[in-house]
Amino acid sequence: MSDVTATYRVPSGPDLHKKAEGIALGLTVGSWTNLPALEQSQLQQHKGEVVSVTDDGSQATLTIRYPAANFSPDIPAILTTVFGKLSLDGTIKLVDLSFSESLAQQFPGPTYGIDGIRKQLGVTDRPLVMSIFKGMIGKGIDEFESQLKAQARGGIDLVKDDEILFDNPLTPFEYRVTIGKRVLDQVERETGRRVLYAVNLSGRTYELRDKARRAAELGASALLFNVFAYGLDVLQALAEDPEIPLPIMAHPAVSGALTASPEYGIANQVLLGKLLRAAGADLVLFPSPYGNVALAQEETTAIASALTEQAPYRSAFPVPSAGIHPGLVPQLIADFGVHSVINAGGGIHGHPDGAAAGATAFRQAVDAVQNGLTLEDAAREQKELSAALNLWGVPQ
């Protein structure tokens, strides 16, 4: 039977079986034991079920199965069922969520995913390197063009808008797309390398599809999307739209409001991992474990696993972000593998010789690891990497 299974973390305590039973019934058929047998048989297929209750004396988990017969196969209905009223009911965190096979097939997963993006870029065997525009608010299209050129020429694979750059008169969305395409086409002619630029898709929800379709027509190569400022179902609609044939990069903006508490909300691996992948994100940004804005290592690993392991969807690229500099590349590859994106802002723009050199330093660091060299050894021959390591060091 098609269903969704949710696991909750709650405080340890007595009566947890009763609590779990109350949830399983309360969020499905309402009541059970006092119902007449005929009604019970009618409602059997709608009744929630307690799968397991565990209690280690400090924390407990409740796992509950909700029949898919109770909801339409969309994320808003599923979230409302498994963590609607329940999100308001005391100390409780949604820590896992899984769809049965037939339910999972109602969701698209990534349209491109890791393999599709690698194919677009012609890069098969190393982590991708991504960078972010720096301080574009209040700046004009010339600044946009020169920043994009420097990053792309330096050897970056993907460049993204800052998530706080919205449609604006100085660098309007369509200009960014059009000029972005021109710059990246030029860099491809010069270097033979294709670079993707993720333009921030923003504005009113009901305008997004037309705007994204228009971007595709104008030659956009990717979209950045602040999913949690909108809704997961909007991401899904963009991902499913055949007239929006673009990889979608999900930004974690606002998600901390849902994930940051250990006691309440939704676990990162569920929200940024399973749900973003099911809804169709091709790349997923999340705070790396290394910077100031950081997640615990085990959380970042759980997100990356949820994006890449198990059927039925394509894998999405994990993009650990914030606090990244070239000295961290060996650690990043050790922690997230070759099939990840190394994403830097300050670690590129802060390079002593500028953003192009910053991009080159990252590519040199990646090549060093791929070739089995230490960064220090590689830096002897490569001045961009050398300058980066002098500035940021290599964590031991």
The number of CA neighbours under 13 Å toward the Cβ of 69 is 11
Candidates 73-81, 108-116, 303-311, 384-392: pick the segment binding a second copy (CB under 8 A): 73-81
Q: What does the DSSP assignment read for 131-198?
A: EE--S-TT--HHHHHHHHHHHHHHT-SEEE--TT--S-SSS-HHHHHHHHHHHHHHHHHHHS---EEE
3-state secondary structure of 19: helix
DSSP state for residue 271 in the 8-state scheme:
I
Residue 137 interacts with a second copy (CB under 8 A)? yes
Smallest separation (angstroms) from a second copy to the CB of 302: 16
3-state secondary structure of 206: helix
- Identify the residue whose tokens are 């590349």: 329
Cα-flanking dihedrals φ and ψ of residue 6, to 5°?
A: -120, 140
C-beta closer to a second copy: residue 122 or 172: 172
Residue 298 interacts with a second copy (CB under 8 A)? no
Residues 244-283, interacting with a second copy (CB under 8 A): 251-258, 260-261, 263-266
The residue from 85, 139, 149, 211 that is catalytic is: 85
Out of 49, 162, 233, 353, point to the residue binding Mg ion (CB under 5 A): 162
3-state secondary structure of 346: helix
Q: What does the DSSP assignment read for 358-377?
A: HHHHHHHHHHHHHTT--HHH
Site pattern 29..48 for a second copy (x: CB under 8 A): xxx----------xx-xx--
Candidates 135-143, 176-184, 327-335, 353-361: pick the segment binding a second copy (CB under 8 A): 135-143
Smallest separation (angstroms) from a second copy to the CB of 217: 19
Residue 28 interacts with a second copy (CB under 8 A)? yes
C-beta closer to a second copy: residue 122 or 140: 140
Candidates 232-240, 303-311, 331-339, 357-365: pick the segment binding a second copy (CB under 8 A): 232-240
Q: Which does 245 bind (CB under 5 to 8 A by kind): a second copy, Mg ion, none?
A: none
Smallest separation (angstroms) from a second copy to the CB of 344: 15
Candidates 176-184, 287-295, 357-365, 372-380: pick the segment binding a second copy (CB under 8 A): 287-295
- Comparing CA positions, the residue from 270, 343, 341 lying closest to residue 303 is 270
Residue 72 interacts with a second copy (CB under 8 A)? yes
Residues 155-214, interacting with a second copy (CB under 8 A): 163-164, 166-168, 202-206, 209
Out of 134, 149, 214, 383, point to the residue binding a second copy (CB under 8 A): 134
Q: Is 85 a catalytic residue?
A: yes
Distant-in-sequence, close-in-space partners of 34: CB < 8 Å, separation ≥ 6: none
Find out whether 133 and 147 touch, Cβ atoms under 8 Å. yes
Smallest separation (angstroms) from Mg ion to the CB of 384: 24
What is the sign, positive or negative, of the torsion defined by CA atoms of 323, 328, 333, 336? negative
DSSP state for residue 27 in the 8-state scheme:
T
Catalytically active residues are: 85
